[in-house]
Chain A
Amino acid sequence: MKPQIKKLEPYLWLLPAFIIFGVFTFYPFVQTIFKSFFMVDALGKTKQFVGIQNYLYILSDAGFLSSIKVTLLYTIITVPISKAIALVLALMANKKRKFSLLYETCFSLPMAVATSVAAMIFQLMYVPGLGLINNITGLKIQWLTDARVALIAICIVQIWLSSGYAFLFMLAAIRSVPVEITESAHLDGAGTWMQVRSIYLPLISPTMFYLICTDIVWSMMTMSLVNVMTGGQYGTTTILQYVYKQLTAAGNYTNANPASIIAFILAFIATMLSFAWEKRGVTY
């Protein structure tokens, strides 16, 4: 192979992917950053340069600040709980039994459900008065219209969806823990909890890390679930929902652009934090 081509070769392999990244991710992203420093009207036309004024404006907007709070709350609630549930389910399903396929599929099925579909099904179940949940339990909670529980109601749906996804990965990870290790630990008299803590957790930590890291990013960017179920009302507006509303309902690009950049920055920080934890918590 000619030496020049050989040198170029890896770049050629990367080219198709990076063209798409460039056109559909980097270019619009840079555009958004650029525009966030301008006044942009309802039709998207850039008007005058205002520097960081837009950022200061939305950071003083109570609605935006509360959306940051809501997003963080949402992330803190959904990520750990869904991983914990998935872990428990995976530990339960570890051993292959006769009906394994049945309940394994059931545990992971939420993964196949689209967020908008899940939102619609749960909306039906959450109907107060005549809906399934209130009817069966006899509760009178206004799931989606009471500011005290609306966010929790949405978190439940998210946990349901995430657990399915996480379960699958964790099951694979747990099953790949060499059986000899657990058997010898069992013979040494180690109880189940001890085994989980000192064997399973460390050995599946790479997978756990991938799951937690990606889930944190996805949670911070969450929008479709909130949009379909409550439209962001009753204290459920997340950052991306705020951006979406600014874009579509208020036609306000001027607010939406800096808000998206801030969302990115927050997600970036969160990712960096989890990578920092990786050094301590993850064993390869």
Chain B
Amino acid sequence: MRKTKHIKTKHVKTGKEVILQVLYILIGMIMVSPILYALSVSFMENKDVLTNPINILPPSITLDNYKTALTRTPLLRYILNSTIVSLVSTISRIIMGSMAAYAFAFYDFKGKKILFALAMATMMIPPDVLIIANYGTITKLGLTNTFLGICSIFLVSANNMFLLRQNFLSYSKSLKDAAYIDGCGSIRFFTKILIPTSTPVIITLFISSFVSVWNQYVWPMLITKENEMRTVQVGVAMLKDRESSVFAPTMAAVIIALIPTVLIFIVFQRKIVAGMMDGAVKG
């Protein structure tokens, strides 16, 4: 008697589970539908994009758009540039951010509150507004049209620093004191103990910073004067015809620009969730 009842509820449960999963996958597909549509359009011939009735799938698949996207502009070179800029900026953000977070989390010093408030204030100053002034500074430093020039304003992020500080606060202070007694100086503590154990958070920040810098458009456009130095978002804008009637090649470029971030995202998705749990939840 009992046994069959048990099996029955299990059946109902798995049935419900299956339906739920199907439902969720459907919702997931709706969420990513814009990206899927862009993918579809990128394989369409331009005259098939805006037709009546609409083509959701390409009536004839063509690789012309990708060819155009890759030949009209040095898109691959742009991807290389974007990768370099994003990598350098992200590494810098993590290093400088964790150094500052270290100071805020493990030390007490005069002006700590003020300095922290100042750092937080930078999150509220819109960078787009400072662009012109920063352009002037970069010019005076002679760094226009260089990788360093592009990276310059991205080298540190208060957001990252904040998250890292939250994470570091969860470590017990006595840990550091114990390490000190054991003869471990603060630098060694930082590099040998603190950083290695914060890997989940750091990976999370790595991904989100990389994506964020990768997606920048205005600053790289302004600071680079030569085609070879441009980044991928600028390249995508170049393909867009001002009058917006050539969507197919633009979508091809959009997909090319999306691939790296989406791939990184999918690959590291598990790690990100784990990282978030350690860092963000702790208040």
A residues with CB within 8 A of B: 1, 7, 9-11, 13-14, 16-18, 20-21, 23-29, 31-32, 44, 89, 92-93, 97-99, 101-118, 120-125, 127, 129-132, 135-136, 160, 163-164, 168-169, 171-173, 175-176, 204, 206-207, 210, 214, 217, 221, 223-224, 240, 243-244, 247, 253, 256, 260, 263-264, 267-268, 271, 284
Are A124 and B126 also in contact (CB < 8 A) when A99-B25, A109-B31, A130-B51 are? no
State in angstroms the CA–CA spacing of A182 and B168 once bound together: 29
Give the segment of B3-11, B60-68, B69-77, B101-109 that binds chain A: B101-109
- Min CB–CB distance A228 → chain B (angstroms): 9
In chain A, what residue has the closest Cβ to B155? A20
Beyond the given A25-B127, A105-B28, A263-B126, please list 15 additional residue pairs across the A-B interface where CB-CB is below 8 A.
A28-B134, A29-B130, A97-B20, A98-B21, A106-B25, A109-B31, A111-B208, A113-B35, A121-B35, A130-B52, A160-B31, A163-B31, A164-B31, A172-B275, A240-B126
Separation in Å of the B254 CB from the closest CB of chain A?
A: 5
How many B residues, CB 8 Å from partner?
Answer: 93
Chain A residue nearest to B56 (CB atoms) is A132
Q: Which residues of B contact A (CB under 8 A)?
A: 17, 20-21, 24-25, 27-29, 31-32, 34-35, 37-38, 41, 49-54, 56, 95-97, 99-100, 102-104, 107, 109, 112, 115, 118-119, 122-130, 132-134, 136-137, 152-153, 155-156, 158-159, 161, 185-186, 208, 211, 214-215, 217-218, 233, 236-237, 240, 244, 247, 250-251, 254, 257-258, 261-262, 264-266, 269-270, 272-277, 280-283
Instruction: Given the known inter-chain contacts A106-B29, A109-B262, please indicate yes or no for A11 contacting B109, CB distance below 8 A.
Output: yes
A21 touches B119 (CB 8 A): yes
Is B34 within 8 A of A125, CB to CB?
yes
Distance in Å: Cβ of A16 to nearest Cβ of chain B? 5
Establish whether residues A240 and B128, one from each chain, have CB atoms under 8 Å apart when the complex forms: yes
A256 vs B133: C-alpha distance when bound (angstroms): 12
- The residues of B that contact A240 with a CB separation of less than 8 Å are 126, 128-129
Query: Looking at chain A's contact residues, is the secondary structure mostly helix, strand, loop, or mixed?
Result: helix
* Contact residue among A28, A206, A244, A268 (Cβ-Cβ distance under 8 Å from B281): A206
CA distance A41 to B118 in the complex (A): 31
Whether the pair A206, B283 counts as a contact (CB closer than 8 A) is: yes
Chain A residue at minimum C-beta to C-beta distance from B237: A116
How many residue pairs link A and B with beta carbons under 8 A? The number is 253
In the bound complex, CA of A278 to CA of B128 (Å): 28
B133 contacts which of A31, A101, A115, A169 (Cβ < 8 Å)?
A: A31
Chain B residues lying within 8 Å of A98, measured Cβ to Cβ, are 21
The answer to whether residues A169 and B215 also contact, given A17-B96, A44-B132, A103-B27 and a CB cut-off of 8 A, is no
Shortest C-beta distance, A95 to chain B (Å), equals 9
